[in-house]
Amino acid sequence: MFVDAGTITPRDDIPANSGGALCQKGWTAGELLTAPDRITVPLMRAHRDAPLEEVSWHAALERIAAEIHRIQRAHGPDAVAVFGGGGLTNEKAYQLGKFARVALRTANIDYNGRFCMSSAAAAQNRAFGLDRGLPVPINDVAEADVILLAGGNVAETMPPFVRHLTAQRDRGGRLIVIDPRNTSTARRADLHLQVTPGTDLALANGLLHLAIAEGLIDEGYLARRTRGFEAVRTVVNAYWPERVERITGVPVPLMREAVRLLGTAATALVLTARGAEQHATGTDTVTAFINLALGLGLPGRRGSGFGCLTGQGNGQGGREHGQKADQLPGYRRIDDPAAREHVARVWGVEPGDLPGPGLSATELLGALGTTGGPRALLVFGSNPVVSAPDSTRVEERLAALDLLVVADFLPSETAVRADVVLPTAQWAEETGTITNLEGRVLLRQAAQPAPAGVRGDLEIIAALAERLKAAGRYATEPEEVFEELRTASAGGLADYSGITYERIVKETGVFWPCPGEGHPGTPRVFLDRFATPDGRARLIAVEHRGPAEDVCDAYPLYLTTGRVLAHYQSGTQTRRVRALLDAVPDAYVELHSDLAGRLDVADGTSVRVTSRRGSVVAAVRVSEAIRRDTVFMPFHWAGAARANLLTNPALDPTSRMPEFKVCAVRVEKIHVEKIRAEMA
């Protein structure tokens, strides 16, 4: 079967796709398989100022291996770094982690999931001892009497998920949405709490304060299943409603209504997404929502719980098998001696030969080409020139490298800066497993062969490992890699040892942990106990700190960033599809009509948005749906309209998540003639 635009049919037997729904990006994705500028031949430049030219695989791989040898001899193994992606299959993520630790012997591997799921992951690990996006099957969404969704615009970002919300509403369920914008998701809600960016933590503490005041706390559950509530009670005592209204901008009556809905529901889900998580306080913010859920006795109760909505294609599996700087396969910690022992045995090396934890994504990008920092970077499945915070700095750091290698099927903004570009296969051309937001491992079968000359990421990794004379085996057949992953993950938190390709097909996916072939898998993870040593969930007292950068006279507005329905991530894949470009052709700045009046701008007027790090030019979209003190930009565009020229690389101390969702900016009207003159 060949896939081309318009013939992609969604699986309707997987509940996450409820009823076979697929969004526009899904059914147009086939166009990219034959994109006119698809890369099908390796490209290389002779030196930094030379153009990229077509070369043989042999020449490209020899150059990379020779440079790696030279750099590592001069600067040590950590001078070569790897950057992965949450869109890679489990097999690729696993192999990339092994390649970094065994073939390159570098500590420095991290990935774009650091920008995505890391705060949610850190908070869930801390509270529950386990990070599985949804601890329950997605069908539970439709059964929940009340859902609280903090910082997710699922109507645009997860259209298939909306079917579950519709089913929930049809059953009489209620929805509460927390968002600075009245999004298409917020408009479906019974209650919309239009929070000031970066203040969700105070809001969650305030909601718990009210739940305590109104006697809605489940004391029996807290005593049986948790630890730490008393310290949290003391802290949230100081979050009385009027104070929280002042911090968050959410009116007290709306908070009361939200707490009553949640606290009296027979079943309820508290969910977070990137709006609440992509902050320098992201881990503590998610913790505050977990505290609220625990206070109401939700996690581990059938039909109820806490969860976070995982973003990328393999956002869940991609964060389990070792492409994270502090991690080994099976969601093991790289600083845990038992984990090192187990994984080293599977890889056929000594535990002492495995490197320790490396730099996290933003720190890794920031260290490139600095004294003592990495001098070479290999990128698989990410476009950090567009998607990482503070783009100017990212471009500077990439330019300071001795060697940049990018494996991609499209000339992304990062690939065009590379010294060597390796053409790789696309999803429809490769088999592999992905793990969805419910923790269900799925098999994606190749539908057609890759174009001649193109190699899959597994083949690229194997070819590089061979040239580096690496220890261990690097299989190129996905199923063979999966068999090794099963062994490596055995006994870990994300245990896949009982999962086989055959079972996945027969059972329409298997939920991890699945510690044996006779084990049914685990759709609901916390029914009897949490994954902490004593089986109890931890409540951790957290305090509001606010955004790392607050508004001031020079930068009087909050900028927040996010997504639109028609575009995907850094846009490499969607800016090439006519139908999607027609839907939203350019970057824009959404701002309130009152602010538009003050700035003397209207729909389509060009404005300059400036933060402490840079400025962008884009057209205005006037809206009644956004707070008056906040402007919003989608981050899908490259060049001078890049939202990330503005964003703040301030990091969460625990998750190392950058603050994509709030920084301080000013907005000025500009005249098009003036920009033309500047650009000329």
Ligand X SMILES: Nc1nc2c(c(=O)[nH]1)N[C@H]1C(S)=C(S)[C@@H](COP(=O)(O)OP(=O)(O)OC[C@H]3O[C@@H](n4cnc5c(=O)[nH]c(N)nc54)[C@H](O)[C@@H]3O)O[C@H]1N2
**Binding residue for ligand X, selected from 72, 125, 157, 283, defined by CB under 6 A:** 157
Q: What is the closest distance, in whole angstroms, from the C-beta atom of residue 44 to ligand X in the complex?
A: 17
In the three-class reduction of DSSP (H, G, I as helix; E, B as strand; rest coil), residue 583 is classed as: helix
Among Mo ion, ligand X, none, what does residue 145 contact (CB within 5–8 Å per kind)?
A: none
Among Mo ion, ligand X, none, what does residue 180 contact (CB within 5–8 Å per kind)?
A: ligand X
Q: What is the closest distance, in whole angstroms, from the C-beta atom of residue 113 to ligand X in the complex?
A: 7
Q: What is the closest distance, in whole angstroms, from the C-beta atom of residue 533 to ligand X in the complex?
A: 31
Q: Which is nearer to ligand X, 85 or 322 (CB)?
A: 85
Q: Which span sits near ligand X by CB under 6 A: 85-93, 138-146, 166-174, 495-503?
A: 85-93
User: What is the contact mask toward ligand X in residues 558 to 597, using x (rule: CB under 6 A)?
Assistant: --xxxx-x-xxxx-xx------------------------
Q: Which is nearer to ligand X, 607 or 657 (CB)?
A: 657
Q: Which residues contact 321 (CB under 8 A, 6 or more apart)?
A: 90, 93, 94, 97, 329, 330, 331, 485, 488, 489, 494
* Dist CA 279 CA 657 (whole Å): 7
Residue 520's beta-bridge partner residues? none
User: What is the contact mask toward Mo ion in residues 86 to 125, using x (rule: CB under 5 A)?
Assistant: ------------------------------x---------
* Dist CA 130 CA 289 (whole Å): 16
In the three-class reduction of DSSP (H, G, I as helix; E, B as strand; rest coil), residue 268 is classed as: strand
Q: What is the closest distance, in whole angstroms, from the C-beta atom of residue 350 to ligand X in the complex?
A: 30
* Dist CA 245 CA 151 (whole Å): 18
* Dist CA 101 CA 78 (whole Å): 10
The dihedral over CA atoms of 427, 433, 437, 439, expressed in degrees to the nearest 10, equals 180
Q: Give the C-alpha distances (Å, rounded to integers) separating 94 from 71, 319, 356.
A: 25, 10, 17
Q: Which span sits near ligand X by CB under 6 A: 267-275, 497-505, 533-541, 579-587?
A: 267-275
Among Mo ion, ligand X, none, what does residue 510 contact (CB within 5–8 Å per kind)?
A: none
**Start-to-end CA span in the chain (Å):** 49
User: What is the contact mask toward Mo ion in residues 273 to 312, using x (rule: CB under 5 A)?
Assistant: --------------------------------------xx
* Dist CA 75 CA 67 (whole Å): 12
Q: Report 641-660 residues binding ligand X (CB under 6 A).
A: 643-644, 647, 660
The dihedral over CA atoms of 415, 419, 420, 424, expressed in degrees to the nearest 10, equals -10
Is 87 among the residues that bind ligand X (CB under 6 A)? yes
**Binding residue for ligand X, selected from 183, 194, 435, 654, defined by CB under 6 A:** 183
**Binding residue for ligand X, selected from 91, 131, 145, 200, defined by CB under 6 A:** 200
* Dist CA 248 CA 180 (whole Å): 10
The dihedral over CA atoms of 14, 530, 261, 184, expressed in degrees to the nearest 10, equals -40
What residue type is 590 in one-letter code? E
Q: Report 389-418 residues binding ligand X (CB under 6 A).
A: 407-410, 412
Q: Which is nearer to ligand X, 128 or 635 (CB)?
A: 635
* Dist CA 504 CA 495 (whole Å): 15
Give the residue from 400, 416, 472 showing the smallest Cα distance to 97: 472
Number of amino acids touching Mo ion (CB under 5 A): 3
Among ligand X, Mo ion, none, what does residue 330 contact (CB within 5–8 Å per kind)?
A: none
Question: Tokens 């101390």 identify what position?
Answer: 653
Q: Which is nearer to Mo ion, 133 or 439 (CB)?
A: 133
In the three-class reduction of DSSP (H, G, I as helix; E, B as strand; rest coil), residue 461 is classed as: helix
* Dist CA 656 CA 362 (whole Å): 8
Q: Which is nearer to Mo ion, 116 or 365 (CB)?
A: 116
Q: Which span sits near ligand X by CB under 6 A: 44-52, 176-184, 286-294, 341-349?
A: 176-184
Is 108 among the residues that bind ligand X (CB under 6 A)? no
Q: Which helix (H) or strand (E) holds 161?
A: helix 159-170
* Dist CA 526 CA 307 (whole Å): 12
Is 112 among the residues that bind ligand X (CB under 6 A)? yes
Q: Report 471-490 residues binding ligand X (CB under 6 A).
A: none
Token pair belonging to 574: 């969607």
Give the residue from 135, 124, 294 showing the smallest Cα distance to 208: 294
**Binding residue for ligand X, selected from 39, 52, 82, 88, defined by CB under 6 A:** 88
Binding site for ligand X (CB under 6 A): 85-88, 112, 115-116, 150-154, 156-158, 178-181, 183, 195, 197-198, 200, 273-276, 278, 311-312, 380-383, 386-387, 407-410, 412, 424, 457, 560-563, 565, 567-570, 572-573, 632, 635, 643-644, 647, 660-662
Binding site for Mo ion (CB under 5 A): 116, 311-312
